[in-house]
Amino acid sequence: MVVKTDVLIIGGGPAGSYLARYLVRNGFNGDVMLIDKKSVIYAPVICGELLPSEDLLKPWINRDLYDVLLTTLRETLRKEFIVNEIGWLRLVINGRDIARMPFRTYVIDKSAMIRGIIEDAINGGANVRFGITAVKCATKNGGYECLVHDKDGGECVISAKTLIGADAYPSIVDLSLGITRGFRAEDLIIATSARARGRYVDDEAVIVMDPGVAPGGFAWIFPRGDGSHNIGVGVRNNIAWRGGNPIDYHALFVSKYGLESTQRSVLMKTLPVGGLLNKYGAGNAYLIGDAVGSVIPTNGAGINPAMITAHLLGESMMLGYDYSSLMNRLFKPLMDRMVMFRRIGDPLLMNRDAMELAVKVSRSYMTSSIYEATLSSMRMSTLIKFLIGDLLIKFISKLS
């Protein structure tokens, strides 16, 4: 059986659901179909569920990009999706409290937020199907055909004029059509996600930089306001499996940082932190969200960045703009800068002694650099700080 649609979106996370909503709400002239392999809308959630408040990033990023970010927040983040308001960021390095800095953010119910976006999309006329997995896509007669399986073992072909990979990294659209070069192992994080209890303050998000428990990444504790916390560990892919596996690092984090798991299972997912891929699409096939590498490399935030890419593609499709040009103008400069910061910091993230020495040499310098990188700062002063930091880290690496 062949099902026909004008636009096929594969993946109903922040990127795909936002795009479906955007298109139907803005009067796209054609059928919009969204499929997702999950049988229940966006469950289980593998995420820290932390989102910035409207003002958090305003002083740090470019105005045009901030406007798009603000739009994505205002269109999707309803009050009822916020489970806790955070006021502070506590930075812990190698088990020691290093700093506490202002950080107005929210812990959200991501699943409820995605349901809200998808309901809007359905109400606007999108055809949304869950429990459908795209297995393979190919070009056909100037358009695309995707073979899909349903959860009951059935299969069919969906034919579309425009095809969107919103199915995270690596995207089946990318793999099938060979659009990009993909990421190298060192540009991927394996991240765990679970719930825990522990004596952490309700209005503080805690970031733990400790190469012993999170080599090449960091661990986090995001309080939900009811005594429970979203926790996880991000370990760089090229070392994640070397001396154990990410679940072992997660267990070490839980025991070392006074946490008590409230869930038996720990979930895991791959997160790209290498910046945007070398291409964002080919012909009328496009990649958005994690599928195009939109996660901010310095902090792992990917919910609103995914929506930003969906917004830019939606705008391109509605107004006849070129998606790649729009991405290159508005989003790529920030992503390139953040990859550079991440790469400069890598030697410290990988080596406990080097991290220790760096804090000893200049605690305030380290703290402000990490804080500004967490806020995705595009300021010249942050750039200079990182370039000087680069020299310092090279010097420290020689000593340690």
Ligand X SMILES: Cc1cc2nc3c(=O)[nH]c(=O)nc-3n(C[C@H](O)[C@H](O)[C@H](O)COP(=O)(O)OP(=O)(O)OC[C@H]3O[C@@H](n4cnc5c(N)ncnc54)[C@H](O)[C@@H]3O)c2cc1C
Residues that bind ligand X (CB under 6 A): 10-16, 35-38, 42, 46-50, 133-134, 166-168, 172, 191, 193, 232, 269, 271, 289-291, 295, 300-303, 306
- Rounded distance between C-alpha atoms, residue 308 and residue 8, angstroms: 19
Instruction: Specify the pairing of strand 155-165 against strand 285-287.
Output: parallel
Answer for the pair 11, 167: CB distance below 8 angstroms, yes or no: yes
The closest residue (CB) to ligand X is 302
- For the bound state, the minimum distance from the C-beta of residue 305 to ligand X, rounded and expressed in Å, comes to 7
Q: What share of the chain is helix, strand, coil (3-state, %, to 5)?
A: 40, 30, 30
- Cα-Cα-Cα-Cα dihedral sign, residues 192, 197, 198, 201: positive
Beta bridge partners of 5: 160
- Rounded distance between C-alpha atoms, residue 105 and residue 87, angstroms: 7
Q: By C-beta, is 316 or 376 nearer to ligand X? A: 376
Q: By C-beta, is 300 or 314 nearer to ligand X? A: 300
Q: Which residues lie closer than 8 Å to 261 by C-beta, 6 or more apart?
A: 194, 195, 196, 254
Q: By C-beta, is 192 or 351 nearer to ligand X? A: 192
- For the bound state, the minimum distance from the C-beta of residue 109 to ligand X, rounded and expressed in Å, comes to 12
Q: By C-beta, is 309 or 382 nearer to ligand X? A: 309
b (16+ CB within 10 A) / e for 84-100 = bebebbbbbbbeeebbe
b (16+ CB within 10 A) / e for 299-321 = bbbbbbbbbbbbbbbbbbbeeee
- For the bound state, the minimum distance from the C-beta of residue 168 to ligand X, rounded and expressed in Å, comes to 3
- For the bound state, the minimum distance from the C-beta of residue 354 to ligand X, rounded and expressed in Å, comes to 25
- For the bound state, the minimum distance from the C-beta of residue 12 to ligand X, rounded and expressed in Å, comes to 5
Q: By C-beta, is 38 or 224 nearer to ligand X? A: 38
- For the bound state, the minimum distance from the C-beta of residue 17 to ligand X, rounded and expressed in Å, comes to 7
- For the bound state, the minimum distance from the C-beta of residue 346 to ligand X, rounded and expressed in Å, comes to 19
Q: By C-beta, is 203 or 395 nearer to ligand X? A: 203
- Rounded distance between C-alpha atoms, residue 348 and residue 396, angstroms: 9
